[in-house]
Amino acid sequence: MSKVKTGIGRRSFIKSVGVASGGLIIGFNWLACKRATEEGGEEMAMQMPDEWFELNGYLKIGDNGIVTIYSPNPEIGQNVKTSMPMIVAEELDVDWNNVIVEQAPLNTDIFTRQLAGGSQSIRQGWESLRTAGATARQMLLTAAAKQWEVPASELTVEEGVIKHKGSDKTMGYGEIAKAAAQVEVPEEVELKDNDNFKIIGTSRKNVDAKKIVTGQPLYGLDTYKDGMLIAMLVQPPAFGMEFKSMDADKVKEMPGIVDVFTIDTYPEDMEKEWSDVAAFSKLVVVVGESTWQVMQAKKELKVEWDLNPKLTEQIQILEKSAGMAGATGLESSDIHNTLMAEVGEKKSEVVRKDGDPEKAFKNAARVIERSYTCPFLAHNCMEPMNFFADVTGDKALLLGPIQTPEYAEKSVNKRLGFDLEDIDIQMTRMGGGFGRRLYGHFLVEAAVISQKMGKPIKLVYSREDDMTNGVYRPAYHVKYRAALDANNKLTAFHVNAGGIPESPLFANRFPAGAIDNYLAESWSLESNISTGAFRAPRSNFIAGAEQSFLDELAEEMGQDPIQFRLDMLKRAESDPVGEENDYDAKRYAGVLKVARDKAGWNNGSSSQSRGVSAYYCHNSYVAQILDMTVKNNEPLIDKVTCVVDCGIVVNPDAAKNMVEGGTIDGIGHALYSEMTFKDGAPQKSNFDTYNLIRHKQAPKKIDVHFIDNGIDPTGLGEPPFPPVQGALANALYKATGKRFYKQPFINELKNAGSDLKT
């Protein structure tokens, strides 16, 4: 066992402990001095205690031994609402069947990091949640020992039942909960050894599963309140434009329409949070009695729009620098591609330099150079953006799907001028996030609309509103160069990466540290198009490009692509170059070796075209081998072998689901998805033109393996997404004889036609 400080004194503890009808409630407010906490679950068919004493964010034990764990963090489908309570229940040593999990509202006085993002939920909450469960267990044992007048060391507990070794006395948690609430909080507690885990490492069903499959209300769009009106927005048709005027008289007379007006979500004098990303601040609002009536009114509304000089000036400068005539400042995809290819590299800044790469390239016998690009992507969550708001007087109740409730609360505080304690944000389960719901402008919009109306409203984005509103994955461009000497040995490596409006470069990741002469350069270009985090930010492009280039480089050098990577990683492990490398070369090589063996890479077990890729991000390592064929220019993916090193796996089935989902998602976006623009206007607004992967296009089988190394958990929601794109590109090359440099790959695959090898 290991001992940890609880980090809480008696005075602080009293603030978060309440006793009612024999119930022990342990608040999680001491976790502020630990790492962040997480999740929760669903009601079960069990006998409830007569009374509950409730606080925001705590573990409570009823007089019959039932335990409720409130989940502080948002649930976006990553299953933390099940996995996080499993961690608490493990250290509490309670029967999982006696646990109820519920979603907590935002409460910054009690919790830290009430946020879903960065694949950090399990990692950040690991120690603090274990400590919470272990502290409760210790207090229960102390109270039982006092009642029985025996040493606490003579007591054991299993599944919520305390036993005394000498007398065979037993007692359930519920019987001693009231007394335990009076026990002094221990300064330190013992955590279980990994070998003694009974819940962690076992598969448990999603606590919301029954509600999901039976259609019970869980999501923001399910929200219905008495007196609630529906609000929808009309936004500019192009990035770089703004509201000029409208004629709403006829629309206001339409059935069910209550009002039409304009709002300014973020006035110029408002200080924004980092999460307040929104391309359009001045919007037209239509409010009515039903979604259908409001949608019909939007179609009839006449609105005029103007160019926004401030938004278009910088783009015009960039266009002129690329030698474009008739610059408008309204962006188009062809302009993006030209700017990235011709202007971006000229703005490069050196981020990392090892050795003398310039000399190595000058003296090279041969230089391999390749460029890779990807387009903007829309997040396209299954559940479009929405939020419920009821703003009355100086109080605001907000309910809906948000990944960053704490930051949203601060935004509402600044926008409405309300005190933080008068803003109540409650979280629903989310129908997808992928980073899109990190940016809570739709919550602020709902609050502003409700305040103006003086009534509760539910703001609803249509699919078209959602897809054309922005906060896209940026467009990226990267050029790789490799220098080879006369013996075909790699002597230098150069990466020049940028994008609109950010660079995807991770200068200190592999192959940095494995090459004597290494140069990494970065650049970015301005844009009016709002962008933000997309599943595995930046990694979601650079991983696939890097792994594609490494495969091509291995072929040029006459080496097996896996052995080529392993040789470089061996150098990085035994004699690394530089001190800033942010990966563990041994763990990196480990997933590659297991993937090689599980897929039978060296024994010719597959008759299909195979591609390999491996990558490190979000503190975890993933290697993937993809088997496929191409028939009639259509990719048919038979199998993907995935090996993941993410430390201890809390809930294996849930973890496997996440790896499978991330793998399919990565393949789909690399093959099919893109957002294009013409004169500032998005060219795709629904799934008839914006392609997401279909069921028949997904791999027939995904074989998932986890490395069992006992290391504390690291990220999992995002790491499987980036590398599979490289494995896909490399398999496509084996299947067609053509290298793929531009995403989505389906465009090049279709355009190549009969030139492809089949």
What was the pLDDT predicted at 341? 92
- For residues 537 and 114, the model is more confident at 537
520: left (phi over 0), alpha (psi -120 to 50) or beta: beta
Q: Give me the domain span that covers residue 258.
A: 220-308+380-468
Residue 59 has pLDDT above 90, yes or no: no
Neighbours of 615 (CB within 10 A): 31
The confidence band for 22, taking pLDDT boundaries of 50, 70 and 90, is very low
Pairing of strands 490-500, 475-484: antiparallel
pLDDT in tens, 216-239: 999 999 999 999 999 999 999 999
Q: Write out the two tokens for 754.
A: 């009969």
Residue 63 has pLDDT above 80, yes or no: yes
One domain for residues 190 and 262: no
Q: Hey, what amino acid is at 672?
A: Y
Residue ending a domain, choose from 205, 233, 258: 205
What was the pLDDT predicted at 3? 77
What was the pLDDT predicted at 35? 35
Question: Does some domain include residue 583?
Answer: yes
Q: Once rounded to an integer, what is the mean pLDDT over residues 375-391?
A: 97
One domain for residues 179 and 254: no
The confidence band for 8, taking pLDDT boundaries of 50, 70 and 90, is very low
One domain for residues 599 and 716: yes
Q: Write out the two tokens for 68.
A: 């409720």
What was the pLDDT predicted at 756? 62
For residue 741, what is the DSSP state? -
Q: Which of 364, 97, 71, 305 is nearest to 205 (CA)?
A: 97
Which residue reads 């795709």 in tokens? 684
- For residues 205 and 131, the model is more confident at 205
For residue 221, what is the DSSP state? G
The confidence band for 31, taking pLDDT boundaries of 50, 70 and 90, is very low
3-state secondary structure of 638: strand
Question: Does some domain include residue 521?
Answer: no
Question: Does some domain include residue 347?
Answer: no
Mean pLDDT for all residues in the chain = 90
One domain for residues 83 and 200: yes
Q: Once rounded to an integer, what is the mean pLDDT over residues 307-332?
A: 76
What was the pLDDT predicted at 10? 37
What was the pLDDT predicted at 60? 84
One domain for residues 57 and 200: yes
Question: Does some domain include residue 679?
Answer: yes
pLDDT in tens, 173-213: 999 988 888 888 888 999 999 999 999 999 999 999 999 99
pLDDT more than 90, % of the chain: 77
Q: Write out the two tokens for 575.
A: 């004699």
Q: Once rounded to an integer, what is the mean pLDDT over residues 59-65?
A: 84
Neighbours of 357 (CB within 10 A): 21
What was the pLDDT predicted at 180? 87
What was the pLDDT predicted at 757? 60
Residue 41 has pLDDT above 50, yes or no: no
Domain count, the chain: 3
Residue 539 has pLDDT above 90, yes or no: yes
Residue 412 has pLDDT above 60, yes or no: yes
CA distance 668 to 697: 8
Question: Does some domain include residue 627?
Answer: yes
CA distance 586 to 606: 27
One domain for residues 304 and 158: no
One domain for residues 234 and 105: no
Residue ending a domain, choose from 468, 484, 501: 468
Which residue reads 């006459």 in tokens? 558
Residue ending a domain, choose from 414, 448, 468: 468
One domain for residues 147 and 14: yes
Q: Once rounded to an integer, what is the mean pLDDT over residues 431-454?
A: 97
Question: Does some domain include residue 740?
Answer: yes
The confidence band for 58, taking pLDDT boundaries of 50, 70 and 90, is low
The confidence band for 151, taking pLDDT boundaries of 50, 70 and 90, is very high
Residue 13 has pLDDT above 70, yes or no: no
One domain for residues 262 and 411: yes
One domain for residues 577 and 647: yes
Pairing of strands 241-247, 475-484: unpaired
What are the start-end ranges of the E strands in 137-187? Answer: 155-158, 161-164, 170-172
pLDDT in tens, 647-676: 999 999 999 999 999 999 999 999 999 999
- For residues 670 and 309, the model is more confident at 670
pLDDT more than 70, % of the chain: 91
One domain for residues 196 and 226: no
Q: Which of 467, 498, 495 is nearest to 343 (CA)?
A: 498
What are the start-end ranges of the E strands in 470-608? Answer: 475-484, 490-500, 518-524
Question: Does some domain include residue 105?
Answer: yes
What was the pLDDT predicted at 326? 64
Residue 432 has pLDDT above 60, yes or no: yes
CA atoms within 13 A on the CB side of 564: 22
706: left (phi over 0), alpha (psi -120 to 50) or beta: beta
349 phi, psi to nearest 5 deg: -125, 140
Dihedral, 723, 728, 730, 734 alpha carbons, nearest 10: 160
Least confident segment among 55-59, 76-80, 111-115, 439-443: 55-59
pLDDT in tens, 470-525: 999 999 999 999 999 999 999 999 999 999 999 999 999 999 999 999 999 999 99
Least confident segment among 8-12, 347-351, 489-493, 523-527: 8-12
What was the pLDDT predicted at 110? 73
One domain for residues 192 and 229: no
Chain centroid offset of residue 74 CA: 11
Q: Once rounded to an integer, what is the mean pLDDT over residues 260-285?
A: 97
The confidence band for 26, taking pLDDT boundaries of 50, 70 and 90, is low
Question: Does some domain include residue 674?
Answer: yes
CA distance 320 to 437: 35
Q: Which of 59, 54, 52, 61 is nearest to 144 (CA)?
A: 61
CA distance 256 to 298: 13
What was the pLDDT predicted at 344? 87
Residue 91 has pLDDT above 70, yes or no: yes
Least confident segment among 8-12, 93-97, 399-403, 660-664: 8-12
What was the pLDDT predicted at 129? 86
The confidence band for 377, taking pLDDT boundaries of 50, 70 and 90, is very high
Contact 76, 430 (CB under 8 A): yes
Contact 258, 294 (CB under 8 A): no
Please state the pTM of the whole predicted model: 0.92
286 phi, psi to nearest 5 deg: -115, 125
CATH (domain of 78): 3.30.365.10
Q: Write out the two tokens for 28.
A: 């999680």
How far is CA 65 from each of CA 154, 199, 206, 748, rounded to the nearest angstrom? 21, 18, 22, 62
CA distance 658 to 132: 26
